[in-house]
C-alpha cells in the first residue's frame, strides 16, 4: 500500500489527541479540519488568534463532541517558558498526546547562498528546525503517555536534493529530515513512531510566494494531499518509523 493512496474509515482518529502546528492556514488548516472530522481531539497551534478562531468555529459548526483547543505561540519568539507552559496546559487538559504534527514553516527568500541575508537565515532555521526540536522535547512525556504515539515532521523536495536559490529553506528541510531520523532511531525499540512527509507542490500561500507565476489551478489543494498524514496518525502505521513519505 502506498500511503498517499491510503483510504480510511470516518472514525479512524477517534479520541486521538493531536497537536498540529501552523493550523491557521494552508496544509495545517486542512489537516486540522480533516482530523477533527475523523474524531480527533485537535489542538490548533498558531500565532494568529483570529485565523485560529476561524478554524475553531468551522470545526464546531460541522462536528463533533470533542471540542478543539487553541495553542497560541509564535515560533519565532517563543522561549523556554512558552514551550513549558504549552506542555503544562496540555498535561493538565489531556494528559497525553497521540499525535504531534510539525507543519508550521516559513519560506524565507529565494536568494543565492552568496547573497542570503544572515539574519533571515537564522529566522528560517529557527522557525523550521529549532522550534520543532524544542516543541518535540517538551512534548515527549505527553507522547510517551499515549499508547500509540506518532510524530510527523514536514519536509520538502528541496530537503532531499539541494536546489539553487532555495537557501535556508532547503537547508532547514534537510535538517528536518535529519532530526526526524535521529529521533526515530533513538526510539527504534519503543512505541513512538517518527516520520517525515513531503507534501509536494500544494496550492497554499507559501507555494504562491515561491512560484508567483505558475498556474495555481494545476496544483493539488491541501485537502487532496492528506491521506499520508492520516495514515501516519492512525493505527494502521504502527511500526512504521524513520521513513520519509511523499504525500503526492
Ligand atoms: P502556509 O500556507 O504558508 O502555512 C504555514 C503555516 O505555518 C501557517 O499556519 C502559519 O501561520 C504558520 N507559521 C509560520 N510561521 C509561524 C510562526 N513563527 N509561529 C507560528 N506559526 C507559524 O504554508 P503551507 O504550504 O501550508 O506549508 C505547510 C508546511 O508544508 C511547511 O512546513 C512547508 O515548508 C511544507 N511544504 C509545503 C509545500 C507546498 O507546496 N505548499 C511543499 C513542500 C513543503 P500564519 O497563518 O499566522 O501565517
pLDDT tens digits along 85-138: 999 999 999 999 999 999 999 999 999 999 999 999 999 999 999 999 999 999
Ligand 1 touching residue 187 (CB < 6 A): no
CB-count burial class (<10 Å; 0-12, 13-18, 19+) for 199: buried
Which tens digit of pLDDT belongs to each residue from 10-60? 999 999 999 999 999 999 999 999 999 999 999 999 999 999 999 999 999
Q: In 12-146, where do the E strands start and end? A: 17-20, 41-46, 69-72, 99-102
Identify the structural domains of the chain with CATH numbers, from first to last.
11-246 (3.40.50.720)
Q: What is the pTM for the complete model shown?
A: 0.98
Which numbered atom of ligand 1 lies nearest the CA of 158?
43
The protein residue with its alpha carbon nearest to ligand 1, atom 10, reads 22
Determine which residue's CA is closest to atom 35 belonging to ligand 1: 154
Q: Are 219 and 205 in contact (CB under 8 A)?
A: no
225 touches ligand 1 (CB under 6 Å)? no
Cell triple for 42: 485537535
Residues with catalytic function: 169
Q: Check: CB of residue 24 under 8 Å from CB of residue 52.
A: yes
Distance 214 CA to ligand 1 centre (A): 19
How many residues are given for the chain? 248
Amino acid at each position: 500500500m502506498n500511503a498517499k493512496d491510503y483510504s480510511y474509515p470516518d472514525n479512524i482518529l477517534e479520541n486521538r489527541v493531536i497537536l498540529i502546528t501552523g493550523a491557521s492556514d494552508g496544509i495545517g488548516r486542512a489537516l486540522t479540519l480533516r482530523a477533527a472530522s475523523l474524531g480527533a481531539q485537535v489542538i490548533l497551534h498558531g500565532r494568529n488568534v483570529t485565523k485560529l478562531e476561524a478554524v475553531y468555529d468551522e470545526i464546531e459548526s460541522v462536528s463533533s463532541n470533542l471540542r478543539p483547543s487553541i495553542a497560541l505561540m509564535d515560533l519565532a519568539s517563543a522561549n523556554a517558558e512558552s514551550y513549558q507552559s504549552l506542555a503544562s496546559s496540555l498535561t493538565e487538559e489531556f494528559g497525553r498526546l497521540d499525535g504531534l504534527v510539525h507543519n508550521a514553516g516559513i519560506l524565507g527568500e529565494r536568494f543565492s547562498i552568496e547573497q542570503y541575508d544572515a539574519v533571515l537565515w537564522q529566522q528560517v532555521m529557527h522557525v523550521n528546525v529549532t522550534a520543532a526540536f524544542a516543541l518535540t522535547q517538551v512534548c515527549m512525556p505527553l507522547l510517551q503517555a499515549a499508547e500509540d504515539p506518532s510524530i510527523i515532521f514536514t519536509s520538502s523536495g528541496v530537503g532531499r536534493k539541494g536546489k539553487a536559490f532555495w537557501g535556508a529553506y532547503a537547508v532547514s528541510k534537510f535538517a528536518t529530515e535529519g532530526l526526524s531520523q535521529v529521533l526515530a532511531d533513538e526510539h527504534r525499540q519503543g512505541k513512538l513512531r517518527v516520520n517525515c512527509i513531503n507534501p509536494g507542490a500544494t496550492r497554499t500561500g507559501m507555494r504562491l510566494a515561491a512560484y508567483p507565476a505558475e498556474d495555481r489551478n494545476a496544483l493539488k489543494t491541501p485537502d487532496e494531499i492528506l491521506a499520508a498524514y492520516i495514515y501516519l496518525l492512525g493505527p494502521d502505521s504502527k511500526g512504521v518509523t524513520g521513513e520519509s513519505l511523499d504525500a503526492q
